[in-house]
Chain A
Amino acid sequence: MLPCGDAAVLVEVDDLETVLRLVAAVEAERESGGFEGVVDVVPAARTLLLRCRPGGRALGRSVARLRELELPDEPPAPGEEVTIPVVYDGEDLDDVAELTGLSPKEVVEHHQQTQWRVAFTGFAPGFGYLVGGPSSAWGSLEVPRREEPRTKVPTGSVGLAGEFTGVYPRSSPGGWQLIGRTDAKIWNPRRKSPAMLAPGNLVRFEQVDV
């Protein structure tokens, strides 16, 4: 556990799988009234950030509770299933093919055939970090970020970075390798569920023409 100011703690674990089990345990307890005074739970690739109301005992209590917490064997049950139509014409598709030793067509096939799951959200509102299931071909799509991040990545760009795939919910700078684009409304703050790629959701990408 690493200190993060006077009102938060960053819990570092070995892998994403453990992060997800930890989130499941924390959220289950929050639902039954536990972790009082916790404002935000922010999972990421190797960490879980727990932010508490400042000034009181919330942080101390939460840390003590975290230490006793028993992790479930499985990550949390999946949420909604969503399908995202993609035009696979990204500027980095050829680079990704070269980096993975696949053909551009195989990259597209692997990306489509993988059952993805939103592990967590970050970077920007509604930006989900999607990971593939253990039995899928996603592992072969692991690529580093671009050496030079782009100053502007268009809304709806579909990219790859590290163990993740993701969709840019709005135009922003970004360093992911772009393989395609979608016109699905990934983020809409006026919708009841503003994030289409909310943590836990299962995602399939489906190739479309233009």
Chain B
Amino acid sequence: MVETTGPLLTVQDLGRPGLASLGVPESGALDAGALRLANRLVGNDEGAAGLEATLGQVTVQARGSLVVAVTGAPVPVTVDGRGHGTGSAVTVPDGSRVELGAPASGLRSYLAVRGGIAVEPLLGSASTDLLSGLRQPLGEGDEIEVGPDPETPVPPLDQAPVRPPTSGVVELRVVLGPRHEWFRKRALRTLAKTRWVVDQRSNRIGLRLDGPELERKVTDELPSEGTVAGALQVPGNGRPVLFLADHPVTGGYPVIAVVVTKDLPLAAQAAPGQEIRLRAVPGPDLSASGDPA
């Protein structure tokens, strides 16, 4: 049972890819690698549903004995007040309380339970999609069902070595385009030079970045077009929004650049107030046929 949720507590798995043509975002764990790891630690399928905590501060009480693991943003984990680390499987006796404190760095922590969180899948996924209103965030007093034990045993691993997210400047690589030519040259320099600050109003839909205005060269209205996670869309105020997993599948503002896939989990761990630097890297070669690698 959920006793406290912190700022936002949601059920997430690996999302709903392939439904963009119906207007449905991919959604899913923002730091998918962390959820996969948490699941492996308790012997689950990597894609099992777990809990995504934002800024920790979560308390859940076990009904029956459970095995859990916490990954992602490193938080103090206690079971009935006894300290445990993140990145390892912990047995929780019936009636005990698991508490996640506030993260030392990063933003999103993942709690996997052996057996996975059992919720009715919507469009093939357990994920909570804030844009679409597919499933609501968890609230105090909510009961969460746990699925049956998987066949795989809990692996005999003590502690999974992972590098925690930085509390300093987050560096993200970006590929310019598709609409960088709609901006002044100066805006492209500003994009790369600025230490963008993650705004408080950021959420699973996108990170709002605060900084100088990115000035447009072309001021026409852009017919809505498909967008991807990682897209830096620049609305009328000139400050980019970095799209995360619950982003709308189309957008009517130009996208100046897109964060490379591998750096998306880093973006997902950038906390409000933290600084972000965007570094342009060459994109895939679209002119030649064959392997872009």
Contact check, B284 vs A3: say whether CB atoms are below 8 A apart: yes
In the complex, whether A49 has a CB less than 8 A from a CB of chain B is yes
In the complex, whether B178 has a CB less than 8 A from a CB of chain A is yes
Q: How large is the interface on A (under 10, 10 to 19, 20 to 34, 35 or more residues)?
A: 35 or more
**B227, B259, B260 — most chain A CB neighbours (10 Å):** B227
In the complex, whether A29 has a CB less than 8 A from a CB of chain B is no
- Among B123, B176, B178, the residue within 8 A (CB) of A10 is B178
- Known contacts A59-B292, A189-B122; decide if A5 and B23 are in contact (CB<8 Å): no
Contact check, B225 vs A46: say whether CB atoms are below 8 A apart: yes
How many inter-chain contacts with C-beta < 8 Å in the A-B complex?
A: 152
Contact check, B133 vs A126: say whether CB atoms are below 8 A apart: no
Contacts of A184 in B (CB 8 A): none
The residue on A at minimum CB distance from B122 is A189
Which A residues, 1 to 15, have Cβ-Cβ distances below 8 Å to chain B?
Answer: 1-10
Contact check, B248 vs A2: say whether CB atoms are below 8 A apart: no
Contacts of B260 in A (CB 8 A): 5-6
Which B residues, 42 to 80, have Cβ-Cβ distances below 8 Å to chain A?
Answer: none
Least Cβ–Cβ distance between B246 and chain A, in angstroms: 11
Chain B facing A: main interface SS: loop
Interface size (B, Cβ < 8 Å)? Answer: 47
Contact check, B23 vs A127: say whether CB atoms are below 8 A apart: yes
Which A residues, 47 to 98, have Cβ-Cβ distances below 8 Å to chain B?
Answer: 47-49, 51, 54-55, 57, 59-61, 63-64, 67
In the complex, whether B87 has a CB less than 8 A from a CB of chain A is no
In the complex, whether A133 has a CB less than 8 A from a CB of chain B is no
B-contact bits for A122-145, CB 8 A (1 contact / 0 none): 111111010000000000000000
**B24, B134, B290 — most chain A CB neighbours (10 Å):** B24
Interface residues of B (CB under 8 A from A): 17-25, 122-123, 131-134, 175-179, 223-228, 230-231, 248-250, 255, 258-262, 283-286, 288-293
Besides A3-B176, A57-B291, A194-B22, 8 new A-B residue pairs in contact (Cβ under 8 A), listed by A number:
A3-B286, A5-B261, A8-B258, A54-B261, A60-B285, A60-B288, A67-B289, A125-B22
